[in-house]
């Protein structure tokens, strides 16, 4: 790389960034605040090492967490340095360890370099095999819970024979220890490693064979680790061993964004860096190039309430911008409507596109109410880092049960859930039932009920009849309970909830919560549709999953959990559900350590916003199948009043638990920032839509505030509304609900 070009790159950096680039020797901790340009620093640091002749490319190792981040790093280095960068190693922890193990693992004579890497599904199958060999039924221990326990043990370097000493000698722990030992034996027999083994075996290889460690520690003179706050103890040990040759270890991270404790990450790695690596230098990158000043003031004030942190203060030269908007709504229905209407206003007022917006929430179940509004308004969206609510497996499974009760001839749904939970009804038996049903022109359920009379089905007749009787009982009970209570009974009486409870994992608990949120959807449907039936609800859900709602547009509003949002940024961010028990979560209140991680999650969410940030909390919320009154999140009390504009709808009742330091405005708030108030009018909330006669006919030219002019192609009655299909001139075909569309006559 030309030295003059490098100097130009360095001159474009701020003083702290340049200092981090030029500090090449010894241990270095770069505390990189959100939006502070850490990737640019890493790339320029590699270029500096090579351009100054401090080492050859193959002496540099850069480790990150995702393949995408590693590829981006390689591409940017090559673009800047060209052929001079050939040989730089930029890889994830797992891929880097994989290379070492392929070359060295045979030294112990247990594995050879052709080993197979088992993914999560593969590991579960091996665990099932171990349990079967030990004659342990899945009903006693779920495969997922055993897998989680083994993974946790490997992260903490606990062998099977040490498991009970560490986690207790209850029957459950003793059984897991036996399965763990059998699982490891099966892996060795298959010459296979799981994901946890990739780092564990590399660390053990280095510790047990000093000559192998010397080879790699002698090769990599300069080691850089990105996202260091997300490392676990095993990853720290790997880095410490690799850097033992030249002691030139540079880690980049932000202790204020350490949010993956549930994955095994520990904030102690970054907090104790100076103890782990004596004489380490610390450089803070505090200038932010992403967010407006008021957003940064809010982030700084919130995170300052954490005691366990290194400390830094984000700032920007870009001005204060708009205030942070704090919105109190009556419930989650109004919350969703406010988001949709405010988003539409922003598009009209500021010329923003759909991709400029994100809605962030604490749990996946919160996407349910939001998705309903997005679908009904015709706004394109994507659920990032997860499935759409009605596409989640547990939701599709419970809906399949509902469809079968509603329509016993729905054989497609029946085959989906006949073994969810497991009933030991094999594929051959299912095919035989299907053939008998076709031959006798009967529903499969009828064939299953009298399976004892069919020689081909007699062996599994008890299981088949039990399933059919369960469906018959649910159909009989349907008219005895409110629809939402009955749906909850379906989830219980089919054994589905019990199956998830046996797993005893965070993922299983989230799936149970999602099922309870489905019950909330049913209750909302009943509230909105007097006399609503199961058929009507399933019809409404079909709208939510209709493939016609998918568009070819690349610009979509992003819906995601706060954990999924890390590393992303948007012009406008809505954070919803800022209530005690939801965010921060109820479980986090059990310890100050967990509460501080929730606060870091809040900090991550706030710093995703570039221009506008909306923080919403509800007076009451229907979630997980029940309605509860809500207290505003404690994080709202921690906001700096000077950076905040709070407003709420007029109400007959005063919300007694307003955050300390705030006054509910009696008039519309004055928007402060770079634009004059006239250019930034407050969002005017409109009354909830009510059913009204739809005055337009097919063929009429209509106008939508977001999509513009179009032609009405069809209108279909649905409950107390109409499903419209409009061919918009600019946005293409959309299916939207009339009450939400608020179409007007086109002025053409």
Catalytic residues: 38-39, 226-227, 257, 608
- What SS3 state is found at 481? coil
Q: Do 146 and 127 meet the contact criterion of CB atoms below 8 Å apart?
A: yes
The CB density around residue 652, as the number of other CB atoms within 10 Å, is 4
What is the Cα–Cα distance from 45 to 43, expressed in whole angstroms?
5
CA separation, residue 609 to residues 13, 41, 679 (Å): 23, 22, 20
Q: Do 603 and 256 meet the contact criterion of CB atoms below 8 Å apart?
A: yes
What is the Cα–Cα distance from 222 to 276, expressed in whole angstroms?
17
Q: What is the 8-class DSSP label of residue 671? A: P
Contacts of 461 (CB under 8 A, 6+ apart): 451, 452, 454
Contacts of 655 (CB under 8 A, 6+ apart): 328, 619, 632, 648, 664
C-alpha 160, offset from chain centre:
32
What is the Cα–Cα distance from 227 to 391, expressed in whole angstroms?
31
The CB density around residue 680, as the number of other CB atoms within 10 Å, is 17
CA separation, residue 319 to residues 125, 287, 611 (Å): 56, 12, 11
Q: Which of 721, 403, 524 is nearest to 532 (CA)?
A: 524
Query: For residue 130, how many C-alpha atoms fall within 13 Å in the half-sphere facing its CB?
Result: 27
Q: Do 523 and 622 meet the contact criterion of CB atoms below 8 Å apart?
A: yes
- Token pair for 627: 């309605």
Q: Do 356 and 613 meet the contact criterion of CB atoms below 8 Å apart?
A: no
Q: What is the 8-class DSSP label of residue 579? A: B
- Token pair for 284: 């803070």
What is the Cα–Cα distance from 647 to 197, expressed in whole angstroms?
52
Q: Do 387 and 519 meet the contact criterion of CB atoms below 8 Å apart?
A: no
What is the Cα–Cα distance from 635 to 275, expressed in whole angstroms?
32
- Token pair for 416: 């989906």
Q: Which of 84, 26, 89 is nearest to 59 (CA)?
A: 89
- Listed in order, strand segments (DSSP E) in 464-596 are 557-561, 570-575
C-alpha 562, offset from chain centre:
7
What is the Cα–Cα distance from 489 to 493, expressed in whole angstroms?
6
How deeply is 31 buried, as exposed, middle or buried, from its count of CB atoms within 10 A (0-12, 13-18, 19+)?
buried
Exposure string of 611-643, with b = 16+ CB inside 10 Å and e = fewer, is bbbbbbbbbebbbbbeeeebbbbbbbebbeeeb
- Largest Cα–Cα separation, the chain: 89
- Token pair for 595: 């509460």
């Amino acid at each position: 790389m030309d030295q003059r070009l490098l100097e130009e790159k360095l001159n474009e950096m701020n003083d702290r960034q340049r200092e981090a680039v030029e500090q090449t020797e010894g241990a270095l901790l770069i505390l990189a605040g959100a939006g502070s340009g850490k990737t640019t620093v890493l790339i320029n640091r590699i270029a500096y090492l090579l351009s100054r002749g401090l080492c050859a490319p193959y002496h540099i190792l850069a480790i990150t967490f995702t393949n995408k981040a590693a590829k981006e790093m390689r591409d940017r280095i090559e673009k800047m340095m060209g052929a001079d960068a050939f040989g730089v190693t930029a890889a994830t922890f797992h891929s880097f360890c994989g290379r070492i193990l392929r070359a060295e693992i045979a030294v112990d004579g247990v594995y050879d370099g052709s080993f197979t890497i088992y993914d999560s599904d593969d590991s579960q199958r091996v665990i099932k095999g171990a349990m079967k060999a030990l004659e342990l039924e899945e009903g006693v221990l779920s495969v997922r819970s055993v897998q989680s326990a083994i993974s946790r043990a490997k992260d903490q370097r606990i062998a099977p024979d040490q498991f009970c000493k560490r986690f207790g000698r209850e029957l459950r722990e003793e059984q897991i220890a036996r399965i763990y030992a059998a699982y490891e034996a099966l892996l060795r027999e298959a010459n296979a490693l799981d994901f946890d083994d990739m780092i564990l075996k590399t660390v053990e290889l280095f510790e047990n064979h000093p000559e192998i460690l010397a080879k790699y520690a002698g090769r990599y003179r300069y080691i850089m680790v990105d996202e260091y706050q997300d490392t676990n103890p095993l990853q720290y040990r790997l880095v410490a061993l690799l850097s033992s040759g030249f002691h030139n270890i540079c880690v980049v991270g932000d202790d204020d964004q350490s949010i993956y404790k549930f994955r095994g990450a520990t904030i102690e790695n970054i907090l104790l860096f100076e103890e782990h690596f004596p004489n380490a230098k610390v450089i803070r990158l505090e200038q932010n190039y992403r967010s407006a000043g008021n957003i940064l003031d809010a982030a700084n004030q919130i995170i300052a309430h954490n005691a366990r942190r290194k400390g830094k203060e984000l700032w920007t030269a870009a001005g204060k911008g708009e205030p942070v908007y704090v919105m109190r709504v009556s419930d989650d229905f109004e919350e969703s409507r406010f988001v949709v209407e405010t988003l539409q206003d922003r598009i009209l007022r500021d010329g923003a596109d759909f991709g400029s917006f994100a809605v962030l929430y604490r749990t996946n179940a919160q996407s349910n109410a939001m998705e309903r509004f997005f679908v009904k308004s015709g706004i394109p969206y994507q659920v990032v880092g997860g499935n759409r609510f009605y596409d989640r497996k547990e939701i599709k499974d419970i809906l399949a049960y509902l469809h079968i009760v509603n329509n016993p001839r729905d054989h497609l749904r029946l085959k989906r859930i006949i073994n969810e939970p497991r009933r030991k009804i094999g594929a051959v038996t299912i095919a035989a039932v299907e053939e008998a049903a076709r031959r006798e022109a009967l529903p499969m359920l009828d064939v299953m009920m009298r399976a004892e009379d069919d020689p081909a089905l007699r062996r599994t007749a008890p299981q088949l009849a039990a399933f059919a009787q369960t469906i018959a009982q649910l159909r009989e009970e349907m008219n005895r309970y409110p629809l939402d209570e009955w749906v909850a009974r379906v989830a219980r009486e089919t054994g589905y909830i019990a199956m998830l409870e046996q797993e005893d994992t965070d993922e299983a608990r989230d799936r149970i919560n999602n099922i309870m949120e489905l019950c909330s959807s049913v209750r909302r449907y009943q509230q909105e549709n007097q006399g609503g039936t199961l058929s009507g609800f399933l019809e409404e859900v079909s709208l939510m999953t209709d493939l016609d709602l998918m568009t070819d547009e690349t610009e979509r509003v992003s819906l995601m959990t706060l954990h999924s949002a890390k590393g992303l940024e948007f012009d406008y961010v809505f954070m919803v559900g800022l209530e005690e028990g939801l965010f921060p979560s109820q479980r986090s209140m059990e310890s100050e350590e967990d509460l501080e991680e929730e606060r870091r999650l809040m900090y991550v969410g706030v710093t995703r916003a570039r221009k506008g940030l909306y923080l919403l909390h509800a007076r009451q919320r229907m979630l997980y199948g029940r309605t509860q009154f809500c207290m505003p999140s404690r994080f709202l009390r921690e906001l700096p009043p000077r950076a905040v504009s709070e407003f709420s709808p007029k109400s007959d009742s005063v919300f007694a638990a307003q955050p300390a330091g705030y006054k509910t405005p009696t008039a519309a708030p004055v928007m402060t920032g770079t634009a004059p108030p006239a250019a930034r009018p407050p969002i005017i909330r409109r009354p909830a839509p009510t059913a009204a006669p739809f005055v337009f006919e097919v063929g009429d030219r209509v106008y939508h505030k977001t999509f513009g002019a179009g032609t009405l192609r069809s209108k279909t009655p649905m409950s107390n509304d109409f499903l419209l299909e409009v061919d918009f001139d600019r946005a293409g075909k959309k299916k939207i609900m009339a009450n939400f569309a608020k179409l007007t006559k086109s002025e053409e």
